[in-house]
Amino acid sequence: MGCEPGQVVVNAYLTPREGEATIVSEREVHFTPKPADAARAPLMVLICAKE
């Protein structure tokens, strides 16, 4: 998952904190959620801003 051209990653996380968000570069994030049932699947949040 990544930001649009001309944007950079400000923050990235999973909520609830069930997994890991790794910032790969200034525009790309890799989310690795822990396995969960569909009713409790974590929400992946990526916040981008213009450069």
Q: What is the pLDDT of residue 33?
A: 84
Q: What is the DSSP letter of 35?
A: P
Q: What is the pLDDT, as a whole number, of residue 41?
A: 74
pLDDT at 37: 66
- Tell me the residue length of the chain: 51
Q: What is the pLDDT of residue 36?
A: 67
State how far the Cα of 43 lies from the Cα of 26, in Å rounded to an integer: 21
**How many whole angstroms separate alpha carbon 3 and alpha carbon 49?**
8
Beta-sheet strands, E only, within the chain: 7-15, 19-23, 29-33, 43-50
Structure-block tokens of residue 7? 């944007």
In tens, the pLDDT along 4-44 reads 999 999 999 988 778 889 999 999 999 988 876 666 778 88
CA–CA separation, 32 and 44 (whole Å): 9
pTM, whole model, 2 decimals? 0.76
